[in-house]
Amino acid sequence: MSLILNPTASPALSPIAAMDAAHSVHPHTNLRRHLEQGPSIITRGDGIYVEDEAGQRYLEGAAGLWCASLGFGNARLGAVAAKVMTEIGYYHNFRSASTPAAAELSAKLASFAPPGMDKVLLQCSGSEANDTALKLVWYHWAGQGQPQRRKIISRLGAYHGTGAVTACLTAKANFHTGFGLPFDGFLYTGMPYHYRHAHPGEDEQAFSSRLAAELEAMIEREGPETIAAFWAEPVMGSGGAVVPPAGYFDKIQAVLRKYDILLVADEVICGFGRTGEMWGSETYGMTPDLICSAKSLSAAMVPISAVLIGERVFNGMMAQTDRLGSFAHGYTYGGHPMACAVAHEVLTIYEEMDLIGHVKSVEPLFLAGLAGLSDREYVGDASGVGLIGAVEIVTDRATKAMADAALMARIDAATRARGLIVRLVGNRVALSPPQIISAAEVQEMFERLGLALDEVFGAVR
């Protein structure tokens, strides 16, 4: 069968790029433009570098989508996957069925989890993990005789997935517009970004106190008896790699405890060392009832996610199954043996390399690299933690006027011309390199970024 190629596609496209442009629908892409311009084809990777079809090599400063913790290409993980694919390939985890790989990963992941969170529900993606956690929240409250607790509080700028329900947790307008979202019952409180949203003269502690007071006012206004859970990323990834202000989670959790509202930590980006501890929850003193994890769980080598379930919620789940007969939830590929075996090996590698120790050893250089950009006249904010952070690009430091899309596109082009891939979120240039990055590679990453930024703004001036 012959392939139908788009006649409007650029004749400069390679055969594989033309094929992609003609048939592949890409997320977060202008679909009409893609038909004409085609994709950027990445063909291989090693360490923290990737290479495109033209042979251009890039330092991948975004770890793909915040997720390639061990970098790109891994023969050891490939061998594990091949072994399981040969031995069994697939089996499910419905109705008490399991495989050695699923059992071993669950036990291993429980040993990585914070105290009291030793129950693991395996899923396939971060969106699935958050969607499942939402169902567990409602399941829990129904079992407690409080089915009216349905409302969920998220935060402006938050990202928790793109499913029909998880996109409602995601508090970014472009994820709602055109899709008929959000559904009723999803509430959005203030974004904890001090640089952009603090009042004049308001320090971080005062800003955190105000956000906690605003949250409490929302809860009182809506009725505490109707609120089920509060959703939070320890560091807001797709919000722009925004780290919380001092005192924030202490003050927010005090409000949640006062009204007996569950806390769900979305650790899809922050989990497994990204913030300098195994969990972002540990970095910021959070004590969640549920943790959603994915991405670095398998170093992004295979699709897998997991919800870590605290004792309170799990006891409620057991009581519900006593009443209803079974836990009627699951996905065909949840607990897939190949994905589980690869994820188990990834966790083993983390132990062998002392992942947390390594991140802590390069964190000072990473933070120094961000700080070194902060004196430039076009940088309004530069902040981070562990191996995640960002610089905010402004056109006027006094007014904090944000760089527009055209200027950010020039920055993207300049960084790629320097052999560096970054993550652009609005007017923020975010970095989250693979967690295997060396000290020398951290310096190289910031050298390339600094040169690219100076090149763009030298032209602007």
Question: Does 179 share its domain with 91?
Answer: yes
Question: Does 341 share its domain with 448?
Answer: no
Write out the H or E segment, with its range, that includes residue 314: helix 311-324
Q: Which residue has the tokens 């956690």?
A: 133
Question: Does 69 share its domain with 88?
Answer: no
Across 73-80, average pLDDT: 97
Helix, strand or coil for residue 174? helix
User: Per-residue pLDDT tens for 288-341?
Assistant: 999 999 999 999 999 999 999 999 999 999 999 999 999 999 999 999 999 999
Q: Hey, how many other C-beta atoms are within 10 angstroms of the C-beta on 97?
A: 10
Domain stop point among 309, 335, 353: 353
Angle between helices 75-87 and 337-353 (to 10 degrees): 150
Question: Does 303 share its domain with 165?
Answer: yes
User: Per-residue pLDDT tens for 221-251?
Assistant: 999 999 999 999 999 999 999 999 999 999 9
AA identity, residue 335: G
Of 285, 197, 170, nearest to 234 by C-alpha is 285
Of 62, 63, 64, 40, nearest to 53 by C-alpha is 40
Number of domains in the chain: 2
What whole-number distance in Å separates Cα of residue 245 and Cα of residue 136?
Answer: 29
Question: Does 251 share its domain with 294?
Answer: yes
User: Per-residue pLDDT tens for 100-156?
Assistant: 999 999 999 999 999 999 999 999 999 999 999 999 999 999 999 999 999 999 999
Domain stop point among 353, 388, 408: 353
Torsion of CA 87, 91, 95, 99, to 10 degrees: 30
**Residue 107 half-sphere exposure toward CB, CA atoms < 13 A:** 8
Angle between helices 337-353 and 100-112 (to 10 degrees): 40
Q: Say if residues 437 and 362 touch (Cβ distance below 8 Å).
A: yes
Residue 16 lies in a domain: no
What token pair was written down for 295?
Answer: 């991405």
Residue 29 lies in a domain: no
Residue 26 lies in a domain: no
Whole-model pTM? 0.95
Q: 363: domain range?
A: 40-73+355-460
What whole-number distance in Å separates Cα of residue 173 and Cα of residue 296?
Answer: 27
What token pair was written down for 175?
Answer: 């994820």
Question: Does 297 share its domain with 369?
Answer: no
Helix residue ranges per DSSP H, 267-336 = 280-283, 311-324
**Has residue 6 got a pLDDT over 60?**
no
